[in-house]
Structure 1
Amino acid sequence: MTAEISFKEVKKHKSKKSLWMVIHNDVYDVTKFLEEHPGGEDTLLENAGKDASQAFEDVGHSEDARELLKKYKIGTLPAADKRKDIPLNCNTLKWALLALAGAIVIGIVLKKTMT
């Protein structure tokens, strides 16, 4: 079972000694990842104790990065603290656009073959 951690508690952890952040309503302790982060520790420190969902998605993290993130998950926000306006995962958006493009191509092909 995943622990519920309030956003108020997350806000207390914003230093190099204890760095927590929220991504898509899940809470992560990335203190041990500071030195390993490819973007440097400043990026993580800027988002320490905050909801970093938008910053995480803006960078366009790979599937490997998303998989690695699971290692640092320590809990989830309680229902009262959860955001409903979380940005779309970039990969979800890419697949949606690809499906739309495919539908358009199929429509054009069908129209040309029917006439």
Structure 2
Amino acid sequence: MTVDAVKIYKMEEVKKHNILKGANKSVWTVIHDKVYDITQFLDEHPGGEEILLENAGTNASESFEDVGHSSDAREMLSEYYIGDIHEDDTFGSADLGPKSWGTGQVQTQESSWITSYLIPMSLALGCAFIYRYVFG
């Protein structure tokens, strides 16, 4: 049983892979200290190739997270993974997972039940008592 060794790249080598013209087109980027060869993905990227080209040869972790990529997009990264960035060049960023477009807070079932049922029912009950004693 053999284990494939992970290829390690220096940032200087990644920077060289921002060749955009001719037969030698090569676009690499770094996301969360992992190196990706995204050359073949340029034409397929839903946001257009321009954003990928802007991040060619750079650490694109922040840009990747700012957009709020889905879990499917994060899984697709594995198709383009070619290695890790050298420990001297790491950025220390962590994959935060897909962005939650809600309030930014994790909502539990209990708080959801309270806001969905308990508060409206309490307001209705309070209105019923007020109506009964004021108009009754």
TM range (shorter): 0.7 to 0.9
**CA–CA distance in 2 between the matches of 1:8 and 1:34?**
22
- Residue by residue over 1:47-72, the C-alpha shift from the partner in whole angstroms, topping out at 9 and shown as x without a partner, is 00000000000110011101111100
Partner SS state of residue 69, structure 2: coil
The match for 1:6 is: 10
Which amino acid in the other structure matches residue 54 of structure 1? Answer: E
In the alignment, is residue 42 of structure 1 matched against residue 50 of structure 2? yes
Percent same amino acid among aligned pairs?
A: 48
Partner SS state of residue 6, structure 2: coil
1:6-85 aligned within 5 A: 6-16=10-20, 17-84=25-92
Q: Calculate the TM-score normalised by the size of structure 2.
A: 0.67
Structure 1 residue 15: Cα displacement: 2.3
Give the gaps of 5 or more residues in structure 1.
109-115
Give the gaps of 5 or more residues in structure 2.
115-136
In the alignment, is residue 102 of structure 1 matched against residue 105 of structure 2? no
The one of the two structures with greater contact order (alpha-carbon pairs below 8 A, sep at least 6) is 1
Change (3 A) 1:67 1:90: closer
Q: How many residues are matched? A: 102
Structure 1 residue 2: Cα displacement: 1.2
The alignment's C-alpha RMSD in Å is 2.2
Q: Quick check: 2:16–2:57 contact (8 Å CA) kept in 1?
A: yes
Q: Quick check: 1:25–1:82 contact (8 Å CA) kept in 2?
A: yes
Change (3 A) 1:79 1:103: farther
Q: Calculate the TM-score normalised by the size of structure 1.
A: 0.78
